[in-house]
Structure 1
């Protein structure tokens, strides 16, 4: 069996080789840590830049949304102070609606009654509603809100002489319904006012301004397809027919 011996030179050479290997390993590890640190710093810088850009790009949009919300709140508050706000809000969601403006010229109106007109002023019709023979024709069976207003201005003096009496004048406004299911016309709504009964308005009587009041009717009804609605007013010659004062309408719920 052969024996091997190690010379001092071999031992020294082995130690040198091992020392070289250890130095190389330490250098590789340090380089890795440096590269990793540099990448981490770059990632942090990039993240900061992206965050900064997102904040400034999103800030105008946030400000715009905030201003828009404030405007909506202000608009909503203003609208709710309007007495007709709820009526407009309901009618804006209606599937079908009609709104008519009234006019009256003595001797020319139909049957000495208010003549309802479509396509004039704020008047319109949609969703199948029709105006035929001064009557509103219901397009489909369902629930409807029916409304009407008649405005009056009455001269209350019986004469021009001082101390002349004031005549009482009853004013009435009614909405009729004609339905095949009912078989005859029925009164949906009606109201009566007594004109010239307010003595606090004497100064107005003397200067010829007259007595002014309005009768408003409005309620929900179950109506059938083909039903016809119309109005009847007992003093049409005393009506105020300026735009927005005398009207008649229906809208589906």
Structure 2
């Protein structure tokens, strides 16, 4: 609030010669407004800092060899069974999705899993296509890529001697025009039969092992994805056990 003070002029001067001087008085409440402004500025700064930290934590994810941001993970066989049905429901609601079932004929000369899109639970939508056993990306964007390989490891060889279980591996590879070479997006290696039961060992039935992979990637139009699994002769491709797919986010 601003006030004014009138000072008297020369007492000997007439009324017409009297001079009035206006003096501005500082408001006693001005410092309160300044204090409130400083507190408000500090609150805004703290709020902005918290939002920035939260944003950075949300974006902090590991980076793969191809330089793509991803959040890879693996699941045990029991968890993968439930995740498979969940992923299928999510992919059906996506604008673009593909889910493939694996097939392998151990009596043939195949060197890789044969992926099929018109059997069992397999489907495709949103311009995805399967070409030369590879998934072709229709548009650039973010995609959730997933795959599972199930192995049925049988005990072979000399039953009296020491049996060494094989090493199992499964990976998803990307071929990009920008990179010019095939790179590994997801991969996992594990030892088979980590907890073989005695009955299984004596009967020679062996054991079952599952490798599940999944992550989010930035893919470009025209990229192709394929898989590599070893050993193929131990692969179990019964319906719902070995699959490969992705859907747009």
TM-score with structure 1 setting the length: 0.62
Q: Is the 8 A contact 2:155 2:205 kept in 1?
A: no
Of structures 1 and 2, the larger Rg is shown by 1
Give the direction of change, closer, same or farther, for the CA distance of 1:240–1:142 in structure 2 (3 Å limit).
same
Give the direction of change, closer, same or farther, for the CA distance of 1:237–1:146 in structure 2 (3 Å limit).
same
In structure 2, what is the Cα distance between the partners aligned to 1:235 and 1:136? 22
In structure 2, the partner of 1:242 is 238
Aligned with 1:245: secondary structure?
A: coil
Deviations 1:37-63 (A, max 9, x none): xxxxxxxxxxxxxxxxxxxxxxxxxxx
* 1:183 matched to 2:180: yes
Deviations 1:54-105 (A, max 9, x none): xxxxxxxxxxxxxxxxxxxxxxxxxxxx544642443232101111110111
RMSD: 1.9
The gaps in structure 2 that reach 5 residues or longer are 1-81
In structure 2, what is the Cα distance between the partners aligned to 1:193 and 1:145? 23
In structure 2, the partner of 1:67 is none
Q: Is the 8 A contact 2:104 2:237 kept in 1?
A: yes
Q: CA deviation at 1:208?
A: 2.5
More helix by share: 1
In structure 2, the partner of 1:212 is 208
Q: CA deviation at 1:107?
A: 5.4
The gaps in structure 1 that reach 5 residues or longer are 1-81
Q: Is the 8 A contact 1:174 1:190 kept in 2?
A: yes
Aligned with 1:206: secondary structure?
A: helix
* 1:196 matched to 2:209: no
In structure 1, the partner of 2:153 is 154
Q: Which of 164, 169, 181 pairs up with 1:167? A: 164
* 1:114 matched to 2:92: no
Q: Give aligned pairs, total.
A: 169
Deviations 1:146-173 (A, max 9, x none): 011000011134324xx43221310100
